[in-house]
Chains A and B, each alone.
Chain A
Amino acid sequence: MQLSVELRPHIGKMNTPVGIVDIEHDQWIAIGALNDAPLKQIGYLPKRDGAKLLWLPHVREKLPQQIIEQFEQAIVAKRDEMAQA
C-alpha cells in the first residue's frame, strides 16, 4: 500500500486596524492519501518537536490502526525533513 503525505502552511486571514492580513499558525495542515486517491486533509501537525498528528476525527474513524500509525510516522518524518531543509 502506497501512502502519500504533504504538509502545507496553515495561513488564515485576520482583521487588523490596517486591514486583513495573513497569519501563519504554529501548525501545519496535514494532507494524506492512500495509493492513487486524491490528497485530502487528515489533520494538523503542530510545528513543535515531539508533537503528534492531530487527526480530523472523521478521517481517523474508519482507518485500521496499522494505517493510522503509518500516517503518523510518515507525517512526523515529513516535519523533521522540512525542519532540516
Chain B
Amino acid sequence: MPATAIPDTGHGASVTFGTTSWSGKIQGIPTNLDISVPRVDKSYLATSGEREYMPGDLRELGEIELDVLFEGVTGLPAVAVGPTTETITLTYPLPGGGAAVAANVAGTGFITGVTYPPLQTGTLQVGKIRFSFDGATGPTYTATT
C-alpha cells in the first residue's frame, strides 16, 4: 500500500548514532536541522532604496539539539575530538496510511557537545546532546515510503 501525504506531530521521532553507543530517551528535538546560505551584501555607493544581496558560496549546517531524559545508568555520550565521524540519522514519526519506512534526514556527523541536567527539587533531570552534520556525506532526505 503506498504511503499517503498526511500532516503529523513530532511524537515518535528518534535519532540514531552509527557508532556512539547511546540509546537514551529523547524528550524532544527543539532545534532541528537548519540549512542556510549566508547573504553577501553587494551594495555600493550608488545603490538606492534597498541594500542588494547575493547568495554566499557555502551552505551553513546548523547544530541540532536534543533534550534527553537523564538516567544514571545511561548518562550522556562522550564528546570525541579528532577525525571521528559517524552516520547520524534523524527519523521522523512513521505516519499512518500504509507507510512502511519513515522519512529521515541522515548524514555523517559528530557530537559537538552535551549538557548535564540541572539538579533541582521537583524537576525532572533533562540533559542536552548537540550534534552537527559534517557536510561530507549528506545530509540527505529520504521520504516516507
Contact = CB atoms under 8 A, between A and B. Distances in A.
B17 to A, nearest CB: 8
B140 A14 contact: yes
A11 B98 CA distance: 20
B131 to A, nearest CB: 15
A75 interface: no
Contacts of B26: 57
Contact of B23 (A10, A39, A44, A55): A55
B129 interface: no
A39 B25 CA distance: 25
B102 interface: yes
B70 to A, nearest CB: 16
Contacts of A46: 18-19, 87
**Interface size, B (range):** 20 to 34
Contact of A57 (B23, B94, B142): B23
B74 interface: no
Interface residues of A, number: 26
A41 B94 contact: yes
A80 B104 CA distance: 25
B16 interface: yes
A12 B140 contact: yes
B139 interface: yes
Interface string B97-115: 0101110111100000000
21 contacts: A12-B105, A12-B140, A13-B142, A14-B107, A14-B137, A14-B139, A25-B87, A25-B106, A25-B137, A26-B18, A27-B87, A31-B100, A38-B98, A38-B100, A41-B94, A54-B17, A56-B14, A56-B94, A57-B14, A57-B25, A58-B14
Given A12-B105, A38-B98, 4 more contacts: A12-B140, A43-B16, A44-B16, A57-B14
Interface of B: 1, 12, 14, 16-19, 23, 25-26, 59, 87, 89, 91, 94, 98, 100-102, 104-107, 137-142
Interface of A: 8, 10-15, 23, 25-27, 29, 31, 38-41, 43-44, 46, 51, 54-58
